[in-house]
Structure 1
Amino acid sequence: MATVARDKLARMLRGDVAGAFSVALTTSADVLSIEVDGVGSVAFPVSSAQARELLGRGQPARFGRGEETLTDPGVRDTWEIPTELVHARWDDDALNDILTTVKDELGLPIAAELTAGLHSLLVYEPGQFFRAHQDSEKDDSMIGTLVVTLPSDHSGGELIVRHLEEKNTYRGSTAELSLVAFYADCRHEVAKIRSGYRIALTYNLLLSGDTALPEGDEGAVGELAGFLREHFSTPVFSRYGGRPAGPPNRLVYLLDHEYTPRALGWRGLKGADAARGSLVQAAAERAGYEAVLALADIKTTHSAYEADDYYGGRGRRCWDDDENAEDDDTDDLADYDIQELIESTVTLTHWTGPDGDQLEATSLDVDEDEVCASSGTDDFEPYTSDYEGYMGNWGNTLDRWYHRAAIVVWPREQSFANRAETSPGWALDALAEMAPTDAQAAAATLEPFWDGALRARTSADSARISETFGKALRTADTVADAATASMLLGPFRVENLTAGGAAPFAKLASQYGRPWAVQLLRTWAGAGQPYWTVGGPERGRWAADSLPGLCAGLRAEPGGGETAAQLLVDLAWTWLREAIDSAARSSSPRSRDGGLDALGAPLASVLTAAATTGPADTRDTVLEHVRRQQDAVTALEMSALRAAAAPGGNGTRDETGFGELAADCAARLRSRLALPSRAATDWSITLAADGCGCELCETLRAFLADPSQRTLDWPLAEQRRRHVHSRIDAAELPVSHVTRRQGRPYTLVLQKTDALFTDELTQRATDQADLDWLVAEWHVPPAPQTT
């Protein structure tokens, strides 16, 4: 199989540059003098006696875990002398010469200026140590750390620096200054002191000035530009086969060092990243593409097994706010036998502008066909991991999460679309600022992903939905094109349209015409789709809370507002009618009554809106449909009438039809109350027909209908007992059903309960209270007298 372009690019960059991640040198102790308040001058080599004096000025060193700064000798056990007590002076240009060497060895730009700022003076006594940790940038220009170990007679205390799979170990000297410089993202530790005292100054390394690298080799730049063109012109095939999709939208090249958001920038790239970044930037420019820097979170999932029956725990690393160290509390990967890679996901969390500034938060999952790297992610240290043991059908997996930086390249004409995919609100603001022709062209690049991107970023945040919808309405007006406006507004739902959007929507309806408005509203409402697949409870709340005010607002606007209001009432009623019918068909009385009760407020709003919007036959259609329902519809009617009578309701208006609804509800209640009360000896129960006419149901129905039979002993096999159980429970009958586990088959014992009487009395009391309320609130006329 031919090597894809992105892998050719990664392979070329892997061999093209190689930079050191740490550098060590020694120099005479004569170039440095140190005074500590309360101790005086520090003599070299540092004696044990003077080391103990220094300890007297120190305090337990702290480390960071998340947002906290902690003291824990199990993680960091050393003494730190406050910086304000320490006065370190270097002779002449000694420190500048050291920093020049460090800059060259680390591969930093020649024209840049590397400076060092004192951070701490540390004293380690026997038995003390600092577990593996990682320094973060304490300043926007910080690129690394310089450790100056003072000469002293001690054993142990080695400084161990790691990056990827490499490890360098550095030991102090008894006569000279030992200096180690390394990039801030390198993991490092101080081994336990076996004897004597280890004393060290630490400095923050700051890079400033002209940090640009020289332009890369013309041949290399040209070859990389060719790889980029090939990548962006080759269609992507689905991993499951089928027809190829279009070419990739971006290329994500993962870098080898880690960066915090504050330190991410072209001038702050470290080691090999800096040289590679310069080459990719030049190649992108030559090919006519745009390159930005990004931060990525990567999750890998491997099949894995515990070694030696060890149960793996969970670990997490944290950035330090003081020493900026990270507790090395992650899982020891040696505890697992790691098998094949199951899945790897890359999510971009931040990116910059093309010039490397204007850092923006983002959230973009990147396809595997868009990612490449010169170093595998498994070569890095995960910042957390999670092992899941065998769970029956799945498990034995090890999830690991990593922080990496990346260079992201995309065609210039796709720049707007790439940013819009992660921030629809930003895209709408940007479109609104463009001239109509430019906005239409830019919006056309959004169409392939706009629906999914907008829904994914607003579905769980009502405030964001409202804000974004308002922007979309304004932008749809600005683009001055009906098709573009439909595309931008299409992903929203009718629930997003409230009274506040009446004026801008009416303006759009007038601008683009009635057919445009009708089609958009039908799309928002999910017209033609089963009601349970659209809207849900949100549709009911929208109808109850927003529909009358929205329709009133639309009618007040000139142009297409009246038509839009009429269509909204029709769409709301179409959904509500199907919801009423579905609730009324429920075999569970509680589900049926609860469902109908929840639809009362939406019904009241539909009647109110229908009374003032469109022809009167809409209201009549609604009332007729309600009147045709079974007797249980009183739950719906009472709920609607109470909503209409509540403060702010519109129940006093005759044209709404609430009077007719109240009359129908009263008639149903009176009809139920007119039935004679159940006799004390009447144990009959009616089992509603649900289409099942099996012999078991016929036997059950006969037992229930018998007014004198209270119990039934019924030998049945398990599956047949289960069917009877389900019929009783679904209908919520006042019948207990237990299995007497004697003989074969077991006996199902059915017994009618006293709830048959108490429930009926409760229902009659409720019906009477409801009828009294209707008479008082809605002035329902009394029932006609019979002679």
Structure 2
Amino acid sequence: MSSIGAALLNSLRSVERPGDFCVGGTREIFMPTIDVDGVGRIAFPVQPIQAEQLVASAEAAPYGRGEATVVDRKVRRTWQVDSAKIRIGGRHWDKTLAGLVEDVALGLGVGEPVAADFYKLLVYDAGSFFVDHRDTEKVPGMFATMVLVLPSIHSGGELVVKHLGREVVFDVHPEEPSEVGFAAFYADCVHEVRPVQTGRRLTLVYNLRFVGRGRPLKAPDYRAEHGRVVELLRGWTSAEDEPDKLILPLEHVYTPAELSFSALKGADAGVASVLVKAATEADCDLHLALVSIEESGSAEHTGYYSRRRWSRDEEDDEQFEVAEVIDRALFLSEWRRPDGSEAGFDDFPFDEDELCPFGAFEDLTPDELHFHEATGNEGASFERTYRRAGFVLWPTARRLAVLNQAGLRTTLPYLEDLTARWEASKAPIRSPLWREGDELSRHMLRSWPRSSWREDEDAEVGRMLDLQIRLRNMECIDAFLAGVSAEGHYAAPDNEAILRAAALLPAPRATELLVRILRRNAPAHLAACGDLVQRCVAGAAGRTCDLMQIGAALIEALPGPPTKRQEVDPWTWSVPVKPTFVVDLLTATSRVDEGLAARAIEHLLAWPKTYKPDDVLVPAARAFAKLAESTAWPAVGRLREASLDHLRKRIALPLEAPRDWTRANPLTCKCSDCRELGAFLTAPDQQQWRLKAVQGRRSHVEENVRSTTCDLDLTTERRGSPHTLVATKNQASYERRAKQRRQDLEHAPALDR
């Protein structure tokens, strides 16, 4: 665990009392029955006519001034109905009130028995308010006040509670008949009720007191702890060898729906009250998040074999135990800000050394644990998940480094927003917004994936380069092209952005980078590199870059004989050449220099097994036949001549249907069945061959036939046992040649123009 993490934990351990100075929210409950003398039973939500009746039977609410109780409408403009005139009941009310008081006490950090004494009903009509004040101890043992806001249609009337420089606003307006707002706070806290704007606000006020305790508690005072934490956090930004973020798991369990600063319980609420204010003063960002560890691996069955039977644990028919953890994922999710809003972050990875304390998840029971029986060649396996909520903290100065840990799904949209805001501000380069974009870009560049494997729809490189172009960030453009594109993380969709970015660099540097990109990526992405060169020649980069160097780099990277093709990296192999590549190559080089194009075409013609005439060269020549400009290019003329020569030679070959049943024998296997089948193939008077044999022998023959170009149709007769493999001769080879002849006769005239 980091030194700052250890010191932070030590400082927070002295927060002996959990809870906070106030707690509140809304809750759906079984509503009580409330009967008021002279008014009758109150309906919910409270109707205007009943509210008027309540005001008529109420009196102006006083407040305490020293030892005296006075009425001053400039200080407190509120109506009160004494508890003696009110009867609160209902079948579920006692249980509902007890549960609410228990939760409120927990939020205030009180673990002892607490009683709630009804004090009075208050009515705030339009314009009513109560300025800053403190409550007095009205009964022995009273330590706090609880306010229940009844369902009514109104606006304004927010309750504001203040303590030691902190301020919490409870803006609750329950309107549903089964919903109440609630707030509780220590009696020594200053609080006010802001003016009601419209409607009427009705509240039930309760005095909270200890049962059997003399001296009441006061609101927690964490000023000493707060000071120590602020000092620690301020030193974090400049501290070396400290993690970018820290994670403090909470004591209590929270579901994602419950996870919020306002819903924290016990000691968690106490720690939050220190961290929220300290983080703000020390320029740190504080969040709540769900901390998860997911593990999977191999499992072992714990049953045992006896001579009588297979035995398992009596309590569980499928007893397993974890054997070995193979995969492990650590991530943060369900982010919440102190103000209750969602942070908008995706899942974040984290390292175990960021946990405070280190090993906080050790010896915990998994929240989920699933075992899977062995199947086929796979042994038994398990999956388990640990989850705990936690505080996540980092210096604001390191925010972008932390944000970068979330990956490109988070950082690219964030950088796009930064860039748009910088453009809209019309601020110069090196302005604060630009610097923030530059800093995030550098973090992203350092962690950018370097694998040459790419998904087809991957557009992240293009998005990143486009943002750097908009930011006019030449250093990041250079670093990205050199460190990412020229190191194998490259695909055809990147080309347009690469060329736009390169066009902003000095011509010699742009040329150097494009040459490096071609040399590194051509073995695995030949077609993409051809497209890159063709776009370069036709675009803005071609007007400044050294096209001779760029074209020569592609020619030098061209594959030669197939036997010399090598694995590019563990995940990528070179792919067969496509006609479109030849078109791009000869178009680009012909537009640059005839000699360069001549080198290219001679290389293509030198290796017919790599640049196959029928699959590559002839289709490319046919494509050029539709491009009028290409008729003036000598290299294309050379391609056309070679393609025509290939077609004419094949057209000149004799083509005749078989006169008997003699067929070529391409089988190389020397087993007795394959030798017998080979003899059958060359026999002029045999049309059908039968092999009655077990499946293994039949399958072996079938595999050999299908792996060659035998002129045979295979079927299986399933009468009797074993079954019979039937091989019947056909004219497949002749039909293929006849089809090829028709194509050649069609293609040759198109090229001979």
TM range (shorter): 0.5 to 0.7
Deviation of residue 352 (structure 1)?
8.3
Q: Please give the root-mean-square deviation of Cα atoms over the aligned residues, in Å.
A: 6.3
Deviation of residue 677 (structure 1)?
1.1
Partner of 1:91: 122
CA distance in 2, matches of 1:216, 1:103: 30
CA contact (8 A) 1:28 1:177 kept: no
Pairing 1:406–2:380 present:
no
Task: Label 1:459 to 1:508 Cα distance change in 2 as closer, same or farther (>3 A).
Answer: farther
Q: In structure 2, the residue corresponding to 1:507 is in which secondary structure?
A: coil
Partner of 1:418: 402
Partner of 2:539: 553
Pairing 1:114–2:170 present:
yes
Partner of 1:291: 285
Q: In structure 2, the residue corresponding to 1:397 is in which secondary structure?
A: strand
Partner of 2:582: 603
CA distance in 1, matches of 2:741, 2:236: 76
Deviation of residue 599 (structure 1)?
1.1
Query: Deviation string for 1:622-676 (max 9, x for gaps)?
Result: 3553464259631323432344356xx5674331634443443343334334323
Deviation of residue 388 (structure 1)?
5.6
CA distance in 1, matches of 2:450, 2:143: 48
Structure 1 counterpart of 2:555, one-letter code:
D
Partner of 1:769: 743
Q: In structure 2, the residue corresponding to 1:771 is in which secondary structure?
A: helix
Structure 2 counterpart of 1:390, one-letter code:
E
CA contact (8 A) 2:579 2:620 kept: yes
CA contact (8 A) 1:292 1:354 kept: yes
Q: Pick the aligned partner of 1:250 from 245, 249, 252.
A: 245
Moved more, 502-511 or 339-348: 339-348
Pairing 1:778–2:751 present:
yes
Structure 1 counterpart of 2:543, one-letter code:
E
Task: Label 1:447 to 1:122 Cα distance change in 2 as closer, same or farther (>3 A).
Answer: closer
Pairing 1:633–2:622 present:
no
Query: Deviation string for 1:692-713 (max 9, x for gaps)?
Result: 8889877765654555554556
Q: In structure 1, the residue corresponding to 2:584 is in which secondary structure?
A: helix
Pairing 1:389–2:383 present:
no
Structure 1 counterpart of 2:633, one-letter code:
E
CA contact (8 A) 2:511 2:546 kept: no
CA contact (8 A) 1:298 1:344 kept: no
Partner of 2:82: none
Q: In structure 1, the residue corresponding to 2:247 is in which secondary structure?
A: strand
Task: Label 1:278 to 1:626 Cα distance change in 2 as closer, same or farther (>3 A).
Answer: farther
CA contact (8 A) 2:688 2:726 kept: yes
Partner of 1:157: none
Deviation of residue 118 (structure 1)?
0.9
Deviation of residue 483 (structure 1)?
5.7
CA contact (8 A) 1:253 1:406 kept: yes
Structure 2 counterpart of 1:734, one-letter code:
D
Query: Deviation string for 1:477-533 (max 9, x for gaps)?
Result: 53389668734765641524434643431332526365455335434x1x6xxx4xx
Q: In structure 2, the residue corresponding to 1:16 is in which secondary structure?
A: coil
Structure 1 counterpart of 2:505, one-letter code:
L
CA distance in 1, matches of 2:650, 2:667: 17
Task: Label 1:16 to 1:772 Cα distance change in 2 as closer, same or farther (>3 A).
Answer: same
Q: Pick the aligned partner of 1:217 from 213, 222, 225.
A: 225
Partner of 2:591: 612
Partner of 1:751: 727
Task: Label 1:9 to 1:497 Cα distance change in 2 as closer, same or farther (>3 A).
Answer: same
5+ unaligned residues in a row in structure 1: which ranges? 49-88, 124-143, 149-175, 182-210, 235-246, 308-333, 584-594, 781-787
Deviation of residue 608 (structure 1)?
1.5
TM norm structure 1? 0.56
Q: In structure 1, the residue corresponding to 2:463 is in which secondary structure?
A: helix
Pairing 1:727–2:704 present:
yes
Alignment of 1:205-604 (within 5 A): 215-217=223-225, 221=229, 248-255=243-250, 272-277=267-272, 279-280=274-275, 290-293=284-287, 295-296=289-290, 298=292, 300-301=294-295, 345-349=329-333, 359-372=343-356, 387=370, 389-392=372-375, 393-394=378-379, 397=382, 399-400=384-385, 404=389, 406-409=391-394, 414-421=398-405, 422-423=407-408, 424-425=411-412, 426=414, 435=430, 442=439, 446=443, 449-452=446-449, 461-472=457-468, 477-479=473-475, 486-487=482-483, 492-493=489-490, 495-499=492-496, 501-510=498-507, 512=509, 514-523=511-520, 525=521, 531=523, 534-535=524-525, 540=527, 542=528, 547-553=533-539, 556-558=542-544, 560-563=545-548, 565-567=550-552, 569-570=554-555, 574=558, 599-604=578-583
Q: In structure 2, the residue corresponding to 1:574 is in which secondary structure?
A: coil
CA distance in 1, matches of 2:578, 2:638: 18
CA contact (8 A) 1:683 1:752 kept: no
Structure 2 counterpart of 1:603, one-letter code:
V
Moved more, 617-626 or 5-14: 5-14
CA contact (8 A) 2:331 2:350 kept: yes
What percentage of residue pairs aligned between the two structures are identical? Answer: 14
Task: Label 1:738 to 1:442 Cα distance change in 2 as closer, same or farther (>3 A).
Answer: same
CA contact (8 A) 2:18 2:271 kept: no
Pairing 1:684–2:668 present:
no
CA contact (8 A) 1:297 1:404 kept: yes
Query: Deviation string for 1:428-484 (max 9, x for gaps)?
Result: 98799764997999589638942329999x956444432222224566853389668
CA contact (8 A) 1:347 1:363 kept: yes
Query: Deviation string for 1:733-781 (max 9, x for gaps)?
Result: 333457889999x898562432xx1553254234323432330x3235x
Structure 1 counterpart of 2:15, one-letter code:
D
CA contact (8 A) 1:547 1:606 kept: yes
Task: Label 1:454 to 1:33 Cα distance change in 2 as closer, same or farther (>3 A).
Answer: farther
Task: Label 1:709 to 1:628 Cα distance change in 2 as closer, same or farther (>3 A).
Answer: farther
Deviation of residue 335 (structure 1)?
12
Alignment of 1:17-32 (within 5 A): 19=18
Query: Deviation string for 1:575-634 (max 9, x for gaps)?
Result: 6x5789979xxxxxxxxxxx86x7122222222222123453544443553464259631
CA distance in 2, matches of 1:502, 1:248: 38
Alignment of 1:119-268 (within 5 A): 119-122=175-178, 146=182, 215-217=223-225, 221=229, 248-255=243-250
Deviation of residue 681 (structure 1)?
0.5
CA distance in 2, matches of 1:95, 1:698: 106
Task: Label 1:442 to 1:218 Cα distance change in 2 as closer, same or farther (>3 A).
Answer: same
Task: Label 1:724 to 1:353 Cα distance change in 2 as closer, same or farther (>3 A).
Answer: same
Q: In structure 2, the residue corresponding to 1:101 is in which secondary structure?
A: strand
Task: Label 1:736 to 1:658 Cα distance change in 2 as closer, same or farther (>3 A).
Answer: same
CA distance in 1, matches of 2:502, 2:718: 68
CA contact (8 A) 1:296 1:403 kept: yes
Task: Label 1:621 to 1:356 Cα distance change in 2 as closer, same or farther (>3 A).
Answer: same
The structure number with the bigger radius of gyration is 2
Figure out how many residues of one structure are paired with residues of the other and give that number.
581
Structure 2 counterpart of 1:735, one-letter code:
L
Q: In structure 1, the residue corresponding to 2:608 is in which secondary structure?
A: coil
CA contact (8 A) 2:712 2:728 kept: yes
CA distance in 2, matches of 1:460, 1:297: 33
Structure 2 counterpart of 1:616, one-letter code:
G
